[in-house]
């Protein structure tokens, strides 16, 4: 995860314009969310300290955004901070969060927002446990806890196109593009494009099996590309565009 200095750099980047993948108007969110969740996540309010049992909840599981259900944190990185809010030392992955300067209340703080839907989550401080030394102080109303997640890796043409298909599927928590099935340990776009590695362009899908099943994921994958064309999809040709399931 980013060091404190890198978080400060991201928060101070005045040219940063977040790309919100799950973009809704305030009016739309207000219709979808319970009032207390809307007040915290869309209006930036803070829930009362010790108002949630989640503060003392340390059973295994995963924490997703209460607005868009993107995967944000895991129980393995949750710790007892005795501050009155759920606290984590690192997120699921650094791309899950965006950071912004917050000078409200006469204090200099770093606000944490969901990178997928721009929901206000809480704040991050540099007084957490080693090795990150970070404390992500998150409103419980901004989170939902789920017990398990599944992952699968699929290829079916250009990974950006495939990623776009699964990004907004209910129950899909995270989609990440990459390469798999080849010989090189750390392939890059150039080497894969030159057909030097035997890798396929793939996406790794993390999903909630209580909402969407593996078979439903596979059925959608097969319905949104042509698995019968050898090493090609549409105008894209080459082994990297082959249909594959890991």
**Cα(104)–Cα(98) distance, integer angstroms:** 18
H/E segment holding residue 155: strand 150-156
**Cα(149)–Cα(162) distance, integer angstroms:** 20
Q: If we measure between CA atoms, which residue out of 107, 212, 87 comes closest to residue 149? A: 212
The answer to whether 186 and 151 have CB atoms below 8 angstroms apart is no
Question: What does each C-alpha distance from 148 to 61, 167, 181 come to in angstroms?
Answer: 6, 19, 26
**Cα(155)–Cα(150) distance, integer angstroms:** 17
The answer to whether 42 and 29 have CB atoms below 8 angstroms apart is yes
Q: Which residues are catalytic?
A: 137, 158
Q: If we measure between CA atoms, which residue out of 71, 60, 88, 231 comes closest to residue 151? A: 71
Question: What is the DSSP secondary structure assignment for residue 48, as one 8-state letter?
Answer: P
H-type alpha helices, the chain: 4-11, 26-32, 35-41, 159-167, 189-193, 214-223
DSSP-assigned beta bridge partners for residue 111:
100, 123
């Amino acid at each position: 995860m980013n060091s404190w200095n890198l978080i400060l750099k991201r928060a101070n980047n005045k040219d940063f314009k977040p790309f919100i993948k799950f973009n809704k108007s305030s009016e739309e969110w207000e219709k979808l969310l319970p009032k207390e969740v809307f007040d915290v996540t869309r209006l930036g309010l803070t829930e009362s300290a010790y108002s949630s049992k989640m503060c003392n909840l340390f059973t295994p599981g995963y924490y997703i955004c209460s607005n868009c259900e993107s995967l944000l944190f895991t129980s393995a990185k949750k710790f007892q901070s005795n501050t009155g809010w759920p606290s984590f030392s690192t997120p699921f992955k650094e791309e899950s969060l965006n950071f912004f300067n917050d000078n409200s209340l006469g204090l200099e703080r770093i606000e944490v927002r969901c990178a997928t839907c721009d929901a206000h989550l809480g704040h991050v401080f540099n007084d957490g446990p080693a090795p990150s030394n970070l404390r992500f102080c998150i409103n419980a109303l901004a989170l939902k806890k789920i017990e398990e997640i599944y992952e699968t890796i699929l290829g079916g043409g250009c990974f950006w196109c495939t990623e776009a298909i699964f990004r907004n599927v209910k129950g899909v928590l995270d989609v990440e593009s990459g390469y798999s099935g080849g010989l090189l340990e750390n392939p890059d776009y150039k080497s894969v494009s030159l057909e030097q590695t035997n890798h396929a362009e793939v996406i790794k899908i993390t999903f909630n099996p209580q909402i969407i099943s593996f078979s439903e994921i596979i059925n959608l994958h097969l319905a949104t590309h042509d698995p019968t064309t050898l090493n090609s999809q549409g105008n894209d040709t080459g082994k990297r565009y082959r249909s594959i399931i890991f």
